[in-house]
Amino acid sequence: MAGEQGGEQAPAPVAATGADRRSYDLFKSVPLLRGTGAAQSESLMTVLVALAANLLIAVAKSAAAAVTGSASLVAEAAHSWADTGNEIFLLIANRRSRRPPDRAHPLGYGREAYVWSLFAAIGVFAAGSAVSVTHGVQRFLVGQEADPRVRAAALRALLDLPEVARVTYLRLEVVGPRMVFVVGDVDLTGDDTESHLAVRLRALEAQISASPAVAGAVLSLSAPDEPSLEA
């Protein structure tokens, strides 16, 4: 026998104890590390669903903004497009963070998820605020005139008044959401004296300013040689 011949016998394998077997599953009991693969798949599906939803909303808002010409809808559409771009950042984060370790990154690329998530968080504010500020500086903050359709409607409304014979100048300046300030030159009917004309002008200004969409109105008398505006 080998033992009787003085040879060394390899030690017999020792069966793993219950404690040893439990040590292999130790980290599965940690909530943040349990089911990592399933959690990543669920996160990816959530991002894809959010991407599709934000894309549809962005398209809908853009179409509505194009039809109505509303600056508020333009800003809302910009925010939705920014949200769509952010979901793309999150998709990149999910893909790059799951790359296996290599010589340059022995601990893997998991931290890239935080980097691209940071880009996504900053993007929603940067893109949306940039569009809002741009529109504010341009169609309102520097004194933009109202939409031509609004001006045409206001001109028709003035010419329909019985005391207005013609309008030679009209400017509607945006001073707030759906609110304008009216400046114009008008020729009143009749041939009143100057004092009576001033009273009639003030009454006409008050009548125009009574509209909730008008912040105020300033009217002057038209010169005889000024051409009339056509409604």
pLDDT tens for 18-39 read 444 444 555 566 555 555 555 5
Q: Tens digit of pLDDT for each residue in 57-94? A: 989 999 998 888 777 788 788 878 888 888 888 888 88
Q: How many CB atoms lie within 10 A of CB 49?
A: 11
Q: Tens digit of pLDDT for each residue in 11-20? A: 555 454 544 4
The span from the CA of 33 to the CA of 27, in Å, is 7
pLDDT at 34: 55
The span from the CA of 194 to the CA of 200, in Å, is 10
Amino acid at 228: S
Q: Structural domains in the chain?
A: 18-137 (no CATH), 148-221 (3.30.70)
Amino acid at 70: S
Alpha helices in 69-169 (DSSP H): 71-97, 112-137, 148-159
Mean pLDDT of all residues belonging to the chain: 80
